[in-house]
Structure 1
């Protein structure tokens, strides 16, 4: 494999740039026999001289290769490329022990120069190193949308879910854009208030959408400037300097997303018209600080991405498995009598719907590999040494497809979360959102939004193929090879289940 080919894979979360930059420090070692103070490195594929495991890393579907290694080598796999070693964690128990119980030494980050400096995204949470700024940002978001406060946003979530259902009636094709747009509007109003959406909602949505496109491109491509930082000085008109044009645009977007809404929020707050929002809460408690500004921007920038992807995964499950969709529908209508949409207060009475929501996270998981952690000192786990400076990659795909844990992981079977012994299973809603001080602070809000949208969708609609199409065999579905992967070519239509559903949709449209 050529270096530029490897660079298009998920390991481009900084791995290649860091590896080549430090190639002179690399020393060839066997991944299974080298001992450090009596401890050996975890097992893994045998490395080649000088280039390590570079040839064994595929161009596409990196998580599938990692999962093959998990089946062969076990819960912890070691691999190395010039200048860097990485540890693939394939067990939830190991991930909890290493990343949750030892956060002081396993919560580092290493993202590339392109992302941090050229694109101006050093302030975002995936890039912040452990320290006061990260801690205060997390504290602010926990105060605003943590488990004790997230319920304050239920009225906005329920209103948004109703509006989204009205929109879905018109969708004939891929549903992801509709989900992203509606969730994006909700996240904007929760973060900055309704008045912010009315005055500059279109600009905010456009900036967010374009910036997320560049972020995905940056994470999953190799940039020479990550190795040779001096390339930042070349002019953008030079051949091969696309990274400069992209970086300039991204930096502009970063400044817009980071600064403009916060300045507007301060103006609205001073005028007394900001309204109920996280911005108001933070301004009143912490003042107009840079950390408050960045905490809001972090929530706004990333808030819609995971939630809309999870919604797409749930929608796809309803589409592929109509018998499951029928069971979810029956449970919800037994609670609502089909006369109203479900609310967040109904969730405790919807165990099968809850189980289906979890199974949508687990089955062909939409987040196969998480953003890597970096160790700051040597750690030992299960008798194996994890050296300082190792990149630790939680492999969700392996965790969610282990037959020893799930029995029949290839089956979409929500009942597994309702059976005896279900409490011992990893909770996919927890696994997806990370570990330790790197747990996504928006997890409670994202879960609340996603569940309510999903339950409302399942109650109102049959998710059906377009005219002339048929539901594919689930085993034949292909998935995009990106961080948050989606089924390739998924198109559907949302057909109201009954006359009662049509009447409810008409009522919702009048109230929207």
Structure 2
């Protein structure tokens, strides 16, 4: 009995010591968390966040606590990263530890938007989708194959601007939507307002993001809330999620079914969806998982591609209106390369370094997505001596990176010349990081950048863009407010946009037959 007692006591003592040691170790680690704002029980720091323009609020944290800030949103550990170096150190150099996504309870589990590669965990399905993007959108051969479409759609936009210059923002939207839907589904867009596919997809995306952004809904912090019945008072989020679920299902199913029907009839145009279907058919009949992956991957193109392209081009036009000296200098460079008889081509890009700097400044000055999609740490880590707990949400604050006065003097000033004397490397080129970091960087980044460049160069080659004037001949200032959300965009503004010469008008109108022809 005595021996048994001592054995039991010794075992219990060992267990207690292990628990105390683990507790002490965990407490010691948490003592080494990155600096950050004081937290309150349960809420953490969530009560401090504003409803909008959170990226600017994070800048205040960075100014006070540094470029790596620790906060807690309810019970979730969060690291806000505000420098390019820290972002690259964590999400690129340590990508094995920082390539996961948070759980995204609302978007993935309630709405069921599981096929979107942006929200997927770092799993085999994500790798399969990434392979498709690599083959069909990222590779040099894929990018080259899309150039005729991009040049064709630019001609359409220029023609539309000549016909209806006041609707230039609508023309930009049609340009971006046409590119994505043609590549994704082989679907040709004639107008934004009357296109069934655009209205369908836009409605689905609005239902998803009409409430909370990715990973920021209350249910993302308290997953058990998803089990609350939709009929209960206060369960409006549940009813909204059910509506969004139906909208996203339609967004994925209807365009996909259209392509499948066209393939069965032998009239389908080659596109992203037909290529993925053919890839899966090499192994036999399509499975449910195959179709789910294909639908989600194709829908990702529109959801992730249109808004950033539209916003970047709109900001480019706004910057040219506000800075006529920059516009003239960029225009002179483009005309010197292409002359009066043709439109810019992709082979001209290396001959236009100043335009390259203008676009760098557009990306930096008003990035379409001010905070990149959050990453998550898949294991404990230590960075600069700071403890980063497993499961922490990592928020890259691109706005802070692009408005750091130590890197960019007078960051609120639009100044392309800042890059002329700068050794633009991985850390200094906004174009290289505006699309995200590491394995989670946007798979459409090169296509999007090419789409922005060819349109910017073509506008400069053929159009004059300046401030509009009122009935008294007075200039109307174009200084719109920027809406702060997942994607920031300027409010509609007016400008005077017209062919810069009669030769330019003739060049644009001469392409009418090309514009109306099918590719």
Alignment partner, residue 353 of structure 1: 355
CA deviation after TM superposition for structure 1 residue 348, in Å: 1.2
CA deviation after TM superposition for structure 1 residue 37, in Å: 4.4
Instruction: Number of aligned residue pairs: give it.
Output: 474
Match of 2:230 among 231, 234, 242: 234
Match of 2:153 among 144, 147, 160: 160
CA deviation after TM superposition for structure 1 residue 316, in Å: 1.3
> In structure 2, what is the Cα distance between the partners aligned to 1:276 and 1:108?
33
> In structure 2, what is the Cα distance between the partners aligned to 1:83 and 1:38?
14
> In structure 1, what is the Cα distance between the partners aligned to 2:227 and 2:50?
28
Distance 1:316 1:393, change over 3 A: same
Alignment partner, residue 472 of structure 1: 477
Alignment partner, residue 206 of structure 2: 213
Alignment partner, residue 119 of structure 2: 127
Map 1:14-163; keep pairs closer than 5 Å: 36-37=28-29, 40-48=32-40, 51-110=43-102, 112-148=104-140, 149-163=142-156
1:255 counterpart = 2:246: no
SS at match of 1:409: coil
CA deviation after TM superposition for structure 1 residue 230, in Å: 5.0
1:331 counterpart = 2:330: no
Map 1:292-303; keep pairs closer than 5 Å: 292-303=294-305
CA deviation after TM superposition for structure 1 residue 462, in Å: 2.4
Distance 1:268 1:465, change over 3 A: same
1:421 counterpart = 2:423: yes
Alignment partner, residue 409 of structure 2: 407
RMSD: 2.8
Distance 1:215 1:467, change over 3 A: farther
Q: TM-score, normalised by structure 1?
A: 0.85
> In structure 2, what is the Cα distance between the partners aligned to 1:250 and 1:380?
39
Which has the larger displacement, 182-191 or 264-273? 264-273
Name structure 2 gaps, 5 residues minimum: 1-25
1:442 counterpart = 2:436: no
Q: TM-score, normalised by structure 2?
A: 0.84
Alignment partner, residue 452 of structure 1: 454
Alignment partner, residue 369 of structure 1: 371
* Native 8 Å contact 2:68 2:82 kept in 1: yes
* Native 8 Å contact 1:189 1:197 kept in 2: no
> In structure 1, what is the Cα distance between the partners aligned to 2:27 and 2:332?
58
Alignment partner, residue 340 of structure 1: 342
Alignment partner, residue 272 of structure 1: 266
> In structure 1, what is the Cα distance between the partners aligned to 2:242 and 2:49?
32
Match of 1:285 among 279, 283, 290: 279
Distance 1:224 1:438, change over 3 A: closer
Distance 1:175 1:215, change over 3 A: farther
Distance 1:389 1:244, change over 3 A: closer
Distance 1:500 1:36, change over 3 A: farther
> In structure 2, what is the Cα distance between the partners aligned to 1:509 and 1:211?
34
Distance 1:175 1:502, change over 3 A: closer
CA deviation after TM superposition for structure 1 residue 171, in Å: 4.9
Map 1:159-238; keep pairs closer than 5 Å: 159-171=152-164, 175-194=168-187, 202-220=195-213, 227=222, 228-229=224-225, 233-235=229-231
Alignment partner, residue 13 of structure 1: none
> In structure 2, what is the Cα distance between the partners aligned to 1:234 and 1:423?
51
Rg larger for: 2
* Superposed structure 1 runs of 4+ greater than 4 Å apart: 170-175, 194-198, 221-226, 238-242
